[in-house]
Each structure stands twice: as structure tokens, then as C-alpha cells.
Structure 1
Amino acid sequence: MDDLSAIPQENIIDYLLERFERGQIYTWVGTLLLAINPDGETTTEDIYDLSRANDLNNNVSDVALKDVAPHIFAVAARAHYRVVQGLGKPSQVIVLNGETGTGKTFNAWRALEFLTAGNASADKRRGQDAACRDLGQRIADACRLISAFTVASTEGNEISSRHVELVWLEYKLGSVCGAMVSSYLLERNRVTMGRCNFQIFGQMMTALTDIEFADTGLSRDARYFMSSDLDPSKGQQLRDGFRDTMRAMDMLGFTEDRKKDIFQVLALLIHMSNIRFTQEDDHCRIDTDDQQSKEALENTCKLARLQKEDIVELLTSTLINPQSSWRRHPVCRRNLNTEDACRYRLHSIIRHLYDLLFHWLINSVNGILSARLFSERLGILDIFGFERFDANGIEQLCVNYVNERLQRYFMEKYLEFRRKNLQEEGLIEDAEPPDIVRLYEDRLSTIEKRLFATLNDVCLSTVPSDSATLIRQVCANGCPETRRFLKVRQENFVVQHYAGAVEYSVNDLLSKNIDKIPDEITVTFAVSKNTFLYRLINKSKLHHENGKAKKATMLSKLRCNVDSLTRELNNCDAHYVRCIKPRRLNNREWDRNELRRQLANTGILDALPLARCKYPIHFTYKEFFKRYRCEQTSDFRAACKMLESRLTMNDDDSLIHYGKHFIFLTERTFLQLESARKQLHVECVEKIESFWIKYRNYRRQHIKGNMADAQTINIQNELIEKSPPERKRIISMGICVYAETYRRQSTRENTARDGQAVVNIDIRDESTKTNLLENKYDVQLIDYSNIQGKPQFTPPNVLYDKTSYIIRWLEDVSKAMNIQNIRSLVPKKSLISHNQLADIRSQDARCTCNSSSNRFHTESGLEKNSEDYNKGEDVHVIRHGTSTLFYKNGVLSRRRPARLPVRVHTRLTCLTNSHYLVHTELPQGLQDCL
């Protein structure tokens, strides 16, 4: 019993823990997948064998015979199949959600590994080159590189992703051809928190001796603000991580100069974090009396390639922009008069530079991996989990707000939509629906309109405000909904989230919400000699100067990013994975209440009534008939009944439900129908090939009128019919290449019976069968056995070289025209053009030359007459059967050459001067085109 919906609700906890102790960490809840983080409690390494990728991705007929076991691979295979087969929307996305530390990133990596491994094996079978097969490894390296810049440790999780990552796999012809990474909501504040920083800084400080390509100015003995909490016991782990990061850069093609630029910017941020300020009478200055601060300033100027005065002016003063735009004003600067103001300005610049570097890295990776295809995509969405610590600030508010929005999206788009459809179709009871979606809407409205809007107004106000003013304005005009979801407790805001109540520090929200980037940063770095840093800042200049697009507060940028992510998800069909993590009490017993709370918060308990409906797949009748229609009938119900009769059905089980607007299927039924559809397509292809072979042979028999050839054709048909399907397919592809050429020729020469014919290939001959199977017949074959008269040269036995064939043909023509040198007959730059080659091949002009009489002799009576020769134009007219060729001035064509000179327009002498350019012969390019 792998389906959680089949278990009574009071026994769900016992059932999950029993499966968990046996190592079964995945469970179906209808179409949802519930994933439990083992966290070292049980061994699960053997369940991620990538050999299952081929079975789940390709062998649909085998999977259809059994129920699909719950696994992260099964969810990825389902999304992959819908993309390849064109089911639903062109874009599919796997959404992983849960609290922090529940294993979302781990499962996302496993799904990505499964999809790229299946694609590599498929490319290997199709004979793709090594570059295509290495795409999966490069995608994994890109994710590993990005994680070094986004993963950090928190109070609740040692390895926590601090951004929202959406990895897109781009599909073409059923396989992955590229990838693209979209990043949302990077927690930039972590760069200046001084503790639990991103892993890339710890890797740098641990492996300084390995960064030989960049002069960072960092020292192991010095103490830096951004790496002050490094754990010495994790030194080896960080060194291994640094080697993995460097290996990923090498695999993605980053040059030594580019890696040097990246690490110099990171070192610049580390040095800038050590700058200290001291306050004097009415202004602040950089504390150069402190040796550590002095060295930090010097290294900052060295890495930024700026003068010390420019850095000091940027960090200790602000540029006053005049409001008037119709007359010039002198540049005015105002000194910052507090240490906090200077420190905040410094941290704002550090956060901005890191954000620019990170998004440059994302764009570089996308430029390397992406195929720029946006029609068929499969995405994997990994977000940070819900957080609740002892002390919570604006970072936790942003994380929890994003989870709140995505949980509302899940409730609205999946649970509520599916419940409404099932009730209308009579598959579940018409009970009064719980108003869950309305509850989420009220909660989000309170957070956005009461808390976010008021906090933004207070922070952007020109009047200084404190925490008491903020609390008073938030509580003003309070309504029951506000008091239900938002309260004030001891200078803290208490927000009632879907996963529980969380207290947020008012002072932290007020001090960190303003995220204004100094306007003069572009002015200062405009004179920088560091070209990489200069390009980073100037690329964002246009967006920064656009006042309408500029979001001055962190919460404003947060809402804008979440809206963008939601719009992206609306264009996709979503597959959901809900992650939980059981915890033990002090007595080593499982915390059952905590586990039940997580099931409720992730929506599993709300999804149970809907999951008990055994029809997870549904189509409209029009979609179903279009995909599985039978040619015998055009009636929907009759076609459905006919398909139902082909399924493997039990007496006590119905596999198809016919609703009012939809037809519902079990997953097993759906897979059986897909397997039958695939088999039908194979049979249709074989039938089309068989009919084409018979038709081609019939046309050959009809044109030649040779009974001996007809007997050979009948033998061919019998052998082809008796051949295995695979061999039949190869033979048909081998002979259809020249058959199409012969068909075109025979159409033009419908009435000509000149004894010329395509050679009859006896497939009973082993050498001929070998050539057919190897698809060697890529040119037209000529039968010379019936040509009257002895040819002047002996043709090859089986195949003709295209170029040598034409050369010899033209040699015969030159001999007939008393032309001693073949080079005077053909163009100098190319022996013969592609169009001429096609014309000559299609005409099959074979001739012999009688050197004594210097006249043409062919089996069709081809000759050169006085009426075919225009003395005034020096044009040779050559008639062959029903076709005519013209030869003049080294050009052989099917069209008569122009009598008048050709006027050519060029760019320099176009229009008025074009009539002066008169050419007496065609240019070489036009000769080749003929």
C-alpha cells in the first residue's frame, strides 16, 4: 500500500514511521509525492540507482504492466514524458516545498541527475557525439558552481540554499539540448551579516594558497569581518568544495583571466568589510589610525584600481542631485555625520557588488548552456524553506512570505481546482468545501497591505521615525482580520503564518528595509582601471537610473520578484513534491505531534480526500478523442468503449470514468493507452514503408514493361514482406534514396522508351544486401546493358563517382566539338555547379563519341544539326529525348543564354550609374547558379 490516501487518517503517522524505518521514504498521496528526509536514520543510497532512468523514461509498455513505485525519479519521469509527448502545456515544472532542512535541495539534485542521465543514454543510443552526452555533466557543474555563491549555514540548517533557483531543461526532438538557470530572491543581506556567510568566501579563505592566478591581498593570519566565524574543523570540507568549484569553472570554459576577475571582486568585498569609521566634529572619516582598517583601505584601492580620495569620498559623503533639469548646477556633496550612516552605506555597496557579480555569473552560465529554446521546457523549482528561529528579522520575513505565496498557489491551483472538478463530475461527495483559499488570501492581504505597505511608507518618509511610530501606524484602523493574523508583542510583530506564528523584530525590519543603492557609485567606478568591475557596474546603470523601475525598499523588491515567479509558474503544468523531516524527542521517541503539524502545513492532510479518488489523469473528450481516436468511428463514446475493450480490466475495478466534461483514467490505464498508441505508430510507419516499396516497384515495372524485371520485382516484394521489421526498415531506407530520383526522371520521360533504366537490384545477392543495409546507394544507378552501340569508356560496376562521371561525360562532348582542352569547356573556379550536376543527372545524358566523324551518336539519335546551331550566337543546342541542353562560352544550362549583354547592379554604381556597366558575358557567380 504505497498510497497514503488508502490509510485511515488516525493511522497515518504510524504508517509513515513504519515505512520510514524500513527505508521507504517516498509515498504517493494521489499524484503528489511525500518525501521524508532520512537524516542518517536509515540507509537510502541503494534507491537512487540511475539504471532505472531508462526504464522509466523509455519502456512505457513495461511500466504500464505494474504500478509505478513512489520515487522522486517517478515524478521526474512523469514530467519528462509529458514534455516529450506534448501532453498539457509545453512547459512542465517540479515544485519542491517544505520547511528548512527537509531535503528539498537534495531531491531537486536527484531529479536533475535522473533527467540528465536518461538524456545521456538516449543520445548514446542515437549516436550523438561526446559533447552532447557531456551536457548533463555541465549542467551539474553549473548548479554546483551556483550553489557555492548561494548556500550558507543557518541556525536550523547547516547547508541551506538562500535563493530561489529554477533550473530549466530545454528540449528538442525529445531530448535535452540545453539548460537555463533562473534565480530569484537572493538573500543579499547575508554578505554583510558577518557570520554564516556564503560558502564561496569560506572556500576562498581556506584555500588561499591554491589561488595562484589572482593577487587577492588576503592573508591567513589576518582577521576579516566576512569570515570571522569559520569553523577550523570544516577546513578540509571547504578545501574540497573549492576544488569542486574550480573544476566546475574549468568544465564550463571559464578562462584564467575570467577566474582571476571573479576572485578579485570577492577579495575586494572581503577587504571592504574591514574598513572602519570614526566620528569627528561634524563628519565621519575612515579610521586610518587602526592598522587593520588602513590595510583594508589600501587593498580596496588596489583591487578596485581607484585613487584613495575617490574611495573615501564615496564612503563618507553623499552626492546631492539638484531637482532642476533646465539649468546647470555645481556638484554638491554632503558629509555623513554618523558612523552608522557610513557603515550602512558601505554595506549597501558591498551587497550591490555581490549581487552584480552573482547575476553576471548566472548570465554567463546561461550563455554557455542555453540553446535559446523556450517552447518545450522542464523546470525544477527549489526554494528556501519556512524558517522560525529564536530571533527573527527581515530575512526570515522575506523567506516566510515567499513560502506563504507558493503555498497559496498550491492550494488554489491544485487542491481547490481539483476539488471543484471532482465534485462537478460526481467523483467525490458534494460536501461544503473548507474555505482554505480564502484563509490564505486574507492572511496575505493583511501582511501586504498592513505590514509591508506601512513599513515602506515609514522607511521612505522624510520625517525620521522610530519603532513606536511604526507600531502605532500598523495598529491604526485595525480590523478583525488584522488582529487575527498580525499582533504586537513586546516591540515585536507576531505574524500568524500557515506554518505557525513567528515573532519579528521591529527594529530589524525598520533598519534593514531600506535598500537604496548610492547613485554616485557609477560616477566613482567610471574612472576605475579594473575593466571587469567597470563593466559590471555600468551594465546596471540604465536600470538604476530608471526611477520608475527602481525599488527603494527590500520588501518592494521582494513582492516584485514573487509576482514574476508566479507568472512563470502560471505558464506551466506543475508536479508537486512535499518534503518533511521527522524529529525525535529527548527520550529518542518520534515527535508525532511535530510530524502531524508538518503534514498539515504542507497541505498533505487537505489533499487526502481528493487523493482517494482513483482517477488522477483526466482529459476533455475532445483532447481524449484527438489523442486516442480510432479510424472506425467518429463518435466519442463509441471510440472510448472501443479503447476500453482493449484494456486489461478486472471484474471489480473500473479503469475509466465518463464524466460530464472530462474522461478520467487511472494511471495504469493511461500508461496502457500510451503503450498501445506507441505500438500503433510503429505499425503505421511499417505499413507506410511497405506500401511505398510496393508502389515504387510497380512504377518501375510499368515503365520498363519487362516481364523479367517484373519477376525480379515480385521476388523483391516477397523477400521484403518476409524480412524482419528492423531489416525491412533499413532496406526500404536504402533503396528509397535512388528511387525518388528515378521517379522524377521517369515522369519527365513518360513516353520515351530508349532502353535506359535504373538497374535492377537483386536483394538475394549478399553483396547487394550489404550495400543496401549500409545505405551506400546515394546516387542514381544506370543500367548500360541495353544501350545500343559500344561505349567509349567502361562504367563502374555498382556505383559512380559523381565528379568523375560528369568529367568523362564532358570529355565526350568536347571530343565531339573538337575542343582539345576540357578547361575551356568548364568554368575555371569550379568544374561544374551543383545545379548543372542535378540537371545532367536528371537527364541521364549518356553519349558516345565517334572521333573520325566528329558527330554525336547515342541510342536515342542525339545529334548536332545545322538548325541546332545558331551561328550568330555561337550556341550549341543539344537535344536528348524530350529535353534540350544549351552550351555557350563554357556554360552548359537548360535555359537558352541571353542574346543581349547583362547589366549588373553593384553597391557602388547602383541606380544612376548602372547603365555604364555592360558585361559581354555572365559573371562567374551567375554561371555557377545556372
Structure 2
Amino acid sequence: MYASYIPCVLNVCNCFPYYFECNLAMHLQTMAGPILLAINPFKDVSVSGSDVITAYREKILDSPHVYAVADAAYNDMMRDGVNQSIIISGESGGGKSVTAKLAIEYLVEAGGGNSDIAGKILQSGCILEAFGNAKTSRNKNSSRFGKLIDIHYNIKGIIQGAYVHTLLLEKSRISQLNRSERSYHVFYQMCAGATSDMRDKLNLRIATEYKYLNKSGCLKIHEVDDAQNFKKLMEALGALGISHEDQERIFKLLAAILWLGNISFEVTDLENHVTVMTDEASRSAARLMGCKVKDLSVALCTNKNQSASDDMVQISTLQQAIDTRDALAKFVYTSLFSWLVEAINRSLKGNKEHTTRSISILDMYGFESVQKNSLEQMLINYADERLHQHFVRHLFKLEQEEYESEGIDWKKVEFVDNQGCLNLFEKKTTGLISILDEVSNTSEATDLTFANKIKQHLSSTLQFNNEKAAFKVRHYAGDVQYETTGFIEKNRDTLQPDNIVFLSSCCKNFLTSESDVSDTDKQSVGTKFKDQLFKLIQRLEGSKPHFIQCIRPNAKQLHGMYEKDIVLQQLTCSGIFETVKMSKSRYPKRMTHQEFSSRFSCLLPENSRCHDPLSVSVAILQQYYIQPETYQLGFTKIYLRAEPISVLEKFRQQVMEGTYKVQNNCHRGRVRDFRELMSSAVTLQSFVRGENTRKRRNVVRKPSDQVAPRSLDHLKAVVHIQSVTRGWLARGHYSHLCRWKMSAPDTSKTGRKSYSKVTPEDLPVLHSNVEELKKLVKKLEVSLTQKEHENNELKEQVRQFEARWSEQEVKMKSVEETWQRQMSSLQKSLAAAKKTLTADESRDEISGTQNPDVVDRLSKEFEQKRQNFDDDARAIIGTKSGHMSYSKQIEEFKRIKDRFEMWKKEYKHQLRETRSKIVKGVNGEGASDKRGKQSWWGKLSKRRQ
């Protein structure tokens, strides 16, 4: 996207054509003072996307662009905490919808921490465009409703939600189309992109078969794929959480509206009374709306005479039935559109509790003048007038009034004020809207009555055409003639109560309730539109505005074609040249004295700062040689041009970077100290845990010292018992055999075996002896098994005791090494102290201090204690040779350790006392000597720790 700046010229008519021919063909977006001018190229040539957004966010690109305006709004919101607004204006066909879409893309990307909400905001635009945009004679994608989107952010600039405000959907487009125009996009998209299953359910045909769509002769838009856009619409509906059932109901109502337009009526008598023809159109419309054909026919062909006392039902004439049919279709579509907006807002609600600020994007109707201008065009142009007044108020009126009230030396810039045209619409009794309401409330009034009424009250400000019953209004963008035909009926926008009940029973999920309808009926279309417009402008007044003016380069909507007269007329009417002239001498940056001094007081030395904000502001400007012609001091504010504020911001940035570096270094120092403290704490905790563990080990170790010898004696005793038992059994068995031999008879003479002489009385005795021997053997086997099990357990205990002994021996060695390191550290600390004092010895002798003597005494004491602990260490090492029992070793080591800790504390205490004496002794010396001793004692103390 190319960009440039419009030069500030005084002779616009002479200089602009040359600039236009040379530059405007390439420069599609440019700045005119504080306003961005965006020319519609009628082709997708915009530089956009995530990469370009990132480039503007990181200030890689700074050329005029919609993204730059959105970035300025976002940064102002984050810096000042004030709500912002981006107001996009221009004629119909200027590209406002695309510009608004680009601004929303940037703001969503900038605050896209909540990707779900951000994606829904982008998808909501697709739905609103399908249901609210249509092709007109001047624009193939014209917004037929006003739209204000509030994007909500939290304090960190992350999107929290959004809300969509809408204004006056053009409902007449449902049933009435001008030549070469289309109805709303969604109808054509549905007819082109619906699936076969959807077509069967809706009895859907192609667009040419529907009277509401084919009467204008325009069914397709060049280079627009309606079927593809329908797929995008379905995706968007699903992304916003609209259920499949609701989607089916939406498309049923859309198809019902198309079939309503195809319903025909049959005249039944000479009075032109009609009834609905029972054909495919009436059956399809009734089925899709969820009612019977008979009920639909009653709703279309009858009406109650409200003037009668007994609610007499009358048969409608042909024109009345057609009007009722069209009114039903328009009512269904507008109710469906309102339901969709509410569904979008429910989906975009987000988290309101954390919302602190917002940015609003306004995409309004453009100025419009067609062949036959009716009530819709008048309200659209009235809204454009109100929006232009907001522009004039902020860029001309408020600024120049502020300069005057603040006492600023200022040459007033003349501009065209459209307040008179607004008064023509808004005056309470004699304004166009008030007169229209007054006439509409009269039941017998006609369009001619309205024409005569405004001619009576506004003859001095309006031009009238009696032949067409029309009047001409001079708008800021040009003269427009409005024909009063249909004004009264459109302003009333009435629907029979019976028809409202009928529609509510059929489509209650999407239509307004009866109570809501009755409330809205109390207001006419014009009054309701004026109230909505006031609320919208009031919301914009509470924000800081950023303006974008969209330019239509030619009337034929062709790319690369620029009609100078059309562009020049738009620039002139919108006040661009007055804005450029004013921006040449205006002060775009203004701050109160307090705000200026608070922001830039860091640029002054601390000793030159004072409490008066005005004095601080003047001192800052003088300190940095700001030229007087680039700023002015008001009574409460200071006004600056762009150059000095950029210089001051640059110096402030340098100071802040230096401050950040100092803070960062201090922070790193604190982090380093904290880490050292944590390391010391971890070391101390480790030592305490080790000490507690050793104490618990000592408690367990004492009984273990007695287990080993006792288990060995036990083992010997068991072996001895087993030996004695085996001997006793063997002797008993031997005695029993001897007795048996002595009692046996002599068989050597007879030659017969001895058992032949055994008597029956001896058999029981032998059996009893055998049984006793078996029992004794079993008992001894059980006892032997038990003793072997006990023996194995004792062996396992002996092995465990040996392993513990080895572990304790290793730990003992580690403790000895730790103690030796501590002794070595103390030696090094003392040596460092001696070395440091040697350099200061002469100076200390002159000052009368006794620092070396004190340190020598401490050194001797240290050497003596070191020798004592060395002896104790050798005694500990001797425990490895078994000079004393294990329990005595532990007690001896603990006693030596406690003595060492006590001496170390006493030695530290002596060092502190000595240090304080030395410090007191040198209080009268110079600052350099004092810092030297403090450094020495700091080093000694650090090494000692």
C-alpha cells in the first residue's frame, strides 16, 4: 500500500489537480492532517495480513495506513487509559466496510491474547455482512444498516469481549428493489450454495424463480462467488456457537420470506376483495413458517376495522393484501436480523468483570442520492450529517474554543458548519422528523398532507417541487431531492395486531414478543432512529476520536479510473482542505502543566526541580532549547507541535533506558546476594540435617556395640549345646545296644540264630525302645533345624554390623576432612589479615593505633588452638587401629567437635571486639584511611564466614 502526505496549499483549485494526476494514482492512503484518506481502488490491492500488522506493531512500517490509525488508537488507550473510537465516514462506495474490517483485524491481532473471542469477532463480520449488506447502484457491497462495534480490553490490553450496536436496517429492500440492485446477500448465497439435503427440506429453487429477487434484473455480482460465501457463512454461524437447530430455523425463515414473495392473490368479487391462491408458494411458505395455509390466508387477506366498536373483520383488497404480505416478510426479516445480533453479542460477551477500556469502530451509511429518494435515504443522509457534525465539532469547534479559553495566540480558521442542516431535521416542533411524526399520528393524513405541512413551516429553508410533491435539502455533501410518496406509511411501519400474534405463534424463537412490539409501535421509525443515533453519538463523545475519510474515485466502480471532479467535490465537502490548513498551525499535542511536568521532570537535575508544575514545564523547555514558536503555554495546559514533543520523548527515552540499566544492575546485585544467602541457608540446613542424622545414628549404634560380642558367645553356646546333645544321644544309644547284647542267649553251641530263642514277652520291650528312639530322633532334628535357622540369622546380623562399621568409618573420614578444611580456611583468613595490615602498618603507628599487636595476639592464640586440635585430630585418627571401643570413639569425636565449635564462636567474638576497638581508634582519620580499614575488616569478615 503506497502512501503520502497531502501538501498544505492555499490555492486548492490550482494546485490540487497537478498533485492528483501525479501522485493520487499510486497513493491509495494518505494523511491530511490528523485524518487518514483512504481511496477505494475497487480491487483487492490492499497490503494487509499478519505480517503487515506485525510490521506496524513493531514500528517497522510507519506509512499512512488503516493499521497505523488502529495502532495509534490502541497505543493511546494503553498509555492514557481512555476509550478510543475510529470513525469511518464517506460516501456510499468509498470502501468504508473494507476499511472497518481492516481496523478490526488489527485491533483483534493487537489484543489477541484470548484467541477464542478474537476469532469470533472476525467471524461475526461475515454474518453481519451477509444479512445486512447488499448491492446498490453505487456500491456492490453496501452496508444497509449502521454498525458500531465496541472491542473491550483489560488493563493489559488483551481482548475480553465485544458488543455490536446496530442502527436502522433498511427493511424496504426485502420487497422493493431498484434497477441493477440486489436484496441482501444471504438470499443469493443460500440459493447458490445450499446442499441438496437443505434444498429438499426448504423446497429451495434458484434465485431467478423468486419475485423478491428477480424483479431488479441483477442476480449476480462480478467476481463474487455466492456459493463460496455461503460456506463461509455456515462456518461463521458454527464458530459463534449458533446450534444446528437454530441454523435450520434461520434458513427456514429465509426460504419462507422468498416463498411469501411468490404468493399470488385471486380477486373474488367486484369490490376487488381477494383470497390467497393455493399453490406451491402458499403451501411452501405455510410449511416453512409452521402454520396451515388457511391460517396464512386469513392473516394476509383480512384485517380488523379498529375504528368500529365491535372489531369488525374486513376482507382486504388486492393492494392491501400485497402490502400485508410485504409487511409480514419485512417484519420476519428484521426480527431475524435482531435475533442474530443478540446471538452474536451473547457469543462475544466475554468477561466483563476485567474490562477496563474499549475501542469503538463505527461503520455508518454513506451519503446517498439515487434516482428516487424516499424516507430511507433521508434518514441515511441525516445520520451522515450528524456524523459530520461530530467531525466538525472535534476538529474545528472544540479545538478553537479551547485555544481561546486558554489564552493561546491563534488565528481562527474558517470552516463550513452543518449545524443549520441538522436543525432542519431535529427541531422539536418545526423539524422534518417532528412534522413527519405529527402527520403520521393523524389517521386521515396522507403524503400530500406531509408535503403541505413542511411547505408551511420550512418554506424559507427548503426548495419544493409541487409536481412530484418533493422537497430539496442542501446537505453538506450536496443537494438531494426527496419525494414524499410513501413517507407516512413507512414512518408508521404498522402491522395488524392479529398478524403479530400469528407470526409470534409461528416463529416465536426469532420474533419480538407482543409486549415489545407494542412498545416499539408507540415510536415512529423517524423518532426511533433519531433516539438511536443520539445514543450512538453520545457514546462516541465519551472517547478520543480517530478519523478515516473514505473516497470514491469514480462513479463507475472501475479500478484505476479517477474522476477529478468527483474526488475534489468529496474532499471539499468533507472539510479536508480546512483540516489541512488548520493542521499547519494547530498544536496536536496538549497536556496539562501537571501531566507535562510529571512526564518530563526526569530530564531535569534533581537540585533544579521545584513543586510548581508550570515552573518545571518552563525549565524543561528552556533546558532543551525548544523554540518558542513550536509551543504555547495556556492557563492550565501546554500546547506543542509534533517536533518538540518528539525531541522531548527521545531524551526521555534515553534517560529511562539509563535508569533501567541502573535498576537492572541493582536488581542483579540483589539477585546475586539473594542467591548467596540461599546457598548459605542450604549449606546450613544440610549441616543441621547431617548433625541430626548423626545423633540418631549414635542412638542406634550404642545397642549394636553390645550385639556383636553377645551374638558370638551365643553362637559358641549353641554349638557346644549341639555337641553335648549329640554326645548324650550317642552314649544313650550305645548303652542300649550293650544291654541288649548282654540279655541275648548264647547261640554258639546250637548253631541256631538267637531270634529263635526270643520269647514273646521280650517283643513289647523292643518295640517301645524303637518308638522312643524315633521320637528322640525327630525331636533332635527339629531342634537342629531351629538352631541352624538361628545361626543363619546371627550370621546376617554380623554381616550387617560389619557393613555399618564400614559406613561409619567412611563418614568419620569425611568429618575429619571437613574439620581440616575449616582449620585451613581460618589459617588463610588470618594470613590475609596479616598481609593487609602489613601495608598499613606505618600509617597505623603514626596514628597511635595498636592494630598489629592486637592481630599478633589473635594470631598466636589461633596457632596455639590449631596445635591443640591437630593433636586431637591425630588421636581421632588413632581410633582406626582399635585403640578404643567404638562407642568411646564417637563420644570422643563429639566432645572434640563441641569444643571446636565453642572455641570458634569465642574467636569470632574476639575478632568483632577487636574490629570495633580499631574502628573507634581511627574515627579521626581521613575518609580514605577509614574506607581502607573498613575494606580490610570486610574482607577479613567475609573470609572468616
User: TM-score, with normalisation over the residues of structure 1?
Assistant: 0.66
Give, in whole Å, the separation in 2 of the partners of 1:427 and 1:302. Answer: 72
Q: In structure 2, the residue corresponding to 1:168 is in which secondary structure?
A: strand
Contact 1:202–1:230 (CA under 8 A) maintained in structure 2: no
Q: In structure 1, the residue corresponding to 2:577 is in which secondary structure?
A: helix
Q: Using the TM superposition, give the Cα deviation of residue 162 of structure 1 relative to its aligned residue in structure 2, in angstroms.
A: 0.7
Contact 1:57–1:81 (CA under 8 A) maintained in structure 2: no
C-alpha distance 304-196 of structure 1, shift in aligned 2 (>3 A)? same
C-alpha distance 523-20 of structure 1, shift in aligned 2 (>3 A)? same
CA deviation map 1:485-523 (0-9, x unaligned): 666564222111111111111213244332113322443
Q: Using the TM superposition, give the Cα deviation of residue 684 of structure 1 relative to its aligned residue in structure 2, in angstroms.
A: 6.7
Q: In structure 1, the residue corresponding to 2:508 is in which secondary structure?
A: helix
CA deviation map 1:159-179 (0-9, x unaligned): 211111112211111122322
Q: Give the alignment partner of residue 396 of structure 1, picking from 377, 395, 400.
A: 377
CA deviation map 1:157-206 (0-9, x unaligned): 22211111112211111122322222112111111215620000011112
Matched, 1:54 2:42: no
2:40 match: 37
C-alpha distance 249-439 of structure 1, shift in aligned 2 (>3 A)? same
Give, in whole Å, the separation in 2 of the partners of 1:395 and 1:525. Answer: 25
C-alpha distance 77-199 of structure 1, shift in aligned 2 (>3 A)? same
Matched, 1:9 2:11: yes
CA deviation map 1:228-261 (0-9, x unaligned): 1443575961112112212222333333222211
2:303 match: 318
Give, in whole Å, the separation in 2 of the partners of 1:320 and 1:628. Answer: 76
2:443 match: 462
Give, in whole Å, the separation in 2 of the partners of 1:171 and 1:210. Answer: 43
Mapping 1:349-748, distance limit 5 Å: 349-373=328-352, 375-424=356-405, 429-431=410-412, 433=414, 436=417, 438-445=419-426, 449-463=430-444, 465-478=445-458, 480=460, 482-483=461-462, 490-525=468-503, 527-528=505-506, 533-537=507-511, 539-546=512-519, 549-583=520-554, 591-613=563-585, 615-630=587-602, 632-641=609-618, 643-644=620-621, 656-667=631-642, 669-670=644-645, 713=673, 716=676
Q: In structure 2, the residue corresponding to 1:371 is in which secondary structure?
A: coil
Contact 2:439–2:450 (CA under 8 A) maintained in structure 1: yes
1:225 match: 211
C-alpha distance 667-467 of structure 1, shift in aligned 2 (>3 A)? same
Give, in whole Å, the separation in 2 of the partners of 1:193 and 1:169. Answer: 35
Give, in whole Å, the separation in 2 of the partners of 1:112 and 1:275. Answer: 42
Q: In structure 2, the residue corresponding to 1:215 is in which secondary structure?
A: helix
Give, in whole Å, the separation in 1 of the partners of 2:25 and 2:17. Answer: 13
Contact 1:104–1:382 (CA under 8 A) maintained in structure 2: yes
Q: Which amino acid aligns with 1:35?
A: A
Contact 2:124–2:236 (CA under 8 A) maintained in structure 1: yes
Give, in whole Å, the separation in 2 of the partners of 1:714 and 1:362. Answer: 57
1:295 match: 280
Q: Using the TM superposition, give the Cα deviation of residue 307 of structure 1 relative to its aligned residue in structure 2, in angstroms.
A: 2.4
Give, in whole Å, the separation in 2 of the partners of 1:83 and 1:256. Answer: 39
Give, in whole Å, the separation in 1 of the partners of 2:111 and 2:501. Answer: 49
Q: Give the alignment partner of residue 143 of structure 1, picking from 104, 125, 136.
A: 125
C-alpha distance 693-598 of structure 1, shift in aligned 2 (>3 A)? closer
Q: In structure 1, the residue corresponding to 2:403 is in which secondary structure?
A: helix
Q: Using the TM superposition, give the Cα deviation of residue 524 of structure 1 relative to its aligned residue in structure 2, in angstroms.
A: 2.1
Q: In structure 2, the residue corresponding to 1:94 is in which secondary structure?
A: strand
Q: Using the TM superposition, give the Cα deviation of residue 660 of structure 1 relative to its aligned residue in structure 2, in angstroms.
A: 3.1
C-alpha distance 281-782 of structure 1, shift in aligned 2 (>3 A)? farther
2:106 match: 114
Q: In structure 2, the residue corresponding to 1:156 is in which secondary structure?
A: coil
Q: Which amino acid aligns with 1:417?
A: L
Q: Give the alignment partner of residue 240 of structure 1, picking from 216, 220, 228.
A: 228
Give, in whole Å, the separation in 2 of the partners of 1:376 and 1:782. Answer: 52
C-alpha distance 656-454 of structure 1, shift in aligned 2 (>3 A)? closer
CA deviation map 1:291-311 (0-9, x unaligned): xx6222111221122123322
Q: What percent identity do the matched residue pairs reach?
A: 21
CA deviation map 1:454-483 (0-9, x unaligned): 3333333122x4443332222124463x34
Q: Using the TM superposition, give the Cα deviation of residue 577 of structure 1 relative to its aligned residue in structure 2, in angstroms.
A: 0.9
Q: Using the TM superposition, give the Cα deviation of residue 427 of structure 1 relative to its aligned residue in structure 2, in angstroms.
A: 5.9
Q: Which amino acid aligns with 1:198?
A: Y
CA deviation map 1:406-463 (0-9, x unaligned): 1122212332111222355566644485572543444444798343323333333122
Give, in whole Å, the separation in 2 of the partners of 1:386 and 1:792. Answer: 92
Give, in whole Å, the separation in 2 of the partners of 1:590 and 1:218. Answer: 42
Q: In structure 1, the residue corresponding to 2:204 is in which secondary structure?
A: coil
C-alpha distance 475-250 of structure 1, shift in aligned 2 (>3 A)? same
Q: Which amino acid aligns with 1:474?
A: I
2:938 match: none
2:930 match: none
Contact 1:644–1:656 (CA under 8 A) maintained in structure 2: no
Contact 1:152–1:199 (CA under 8 A) maintained in structure 2: yes
Q: In structure 2, the residue corresponding to 1:657 is in which secondary structure?
A: strand
2:256 match: 268
Q: Using the TM superposition, give the Cα deviation of residue 639 of structure 1 relative to its aligned residue in structure 2, in angstroms.
A: 3.0
Q: Using the TM superposition, give the Cα deviation of residue 380 of structure 1 relative to its aligned residue in structure 2, in angstroms.
A: 1.0
Q: Which amino acid aligns with 1:294?
A: D
Contact 1:487–1:493 (CA under 8 A) maintained in structure 2: yes
Give, in whole Å, the separation in 1 of the partners of 2:390 and 2:674. Answer: 66
Q: Using the TM superposition, give the Cα deviation of residue 81 of structure 1 relative to its aligned residue in structure 2, in angstroms.
A: 0.6
- What residue ranges of structure 2 are gaps of 5+ in the alignment? 698-945
Matched, 1:759 2:682: yes
User: TM-score, with normalisation over the residues of structure 2?
Assistant: 0.65
Give, in whole Å, the separation in 2 of the partners of 1:404 and 1:107. Answer: 20
Contact 2:386–2:422 (CA under 8 A) maintained in structure 1: no
CA RMSD, Structure 1 to Structure 2 (Å) = 3.9
Q: Give the alignment partner of residue 91 of structure 1, picking from 83, 95, 102.
A: 83
Mapping 1:86-235, distance limit 5 Å: 86-87=80-81, 90-120=82-112, 123=113, 132-133=114-115, 135-172=117-154, 173-194=156-177, 196-209=182-195, 212=198, 215-220=201-206, 223-228=209-214, 229-231=217-219
Contact 1:495–1:502 (CA under 8 A) maintained in structure 2: yes
2:247 match: 259
2:835 match: none
Give, in whole Å, the separation in 2 of the partners of 1:118 and 1:432. Answer: 37
Give, in whole Å, the separation in 1 of the partners of 2:659 and 2:466. Answer: 71
C-alpha distance 219-593 of structure 1, shift in aligned 2 (>3 A)? closer
Q: Using the TM superposition, give the Cα deviation of residue 320 of structure 1 relative to its aligned residue in structure 2, in angstroms.
A: 6.0
Q: In structure 1, the residue corresponding to 2:279 is in which secondary structure?
A: helix
Q: Which amino acid aligns with 1:267?
A: A
C-alpha distance 16-515 of structure 1, shift in aligned 2 (>3 A)? farther
- What residue ranges of structure 1 are gaps of 5+ in the alignment? 124-131, 324-328, 698-711, 718-734, 740-756, 762-780, 794-930
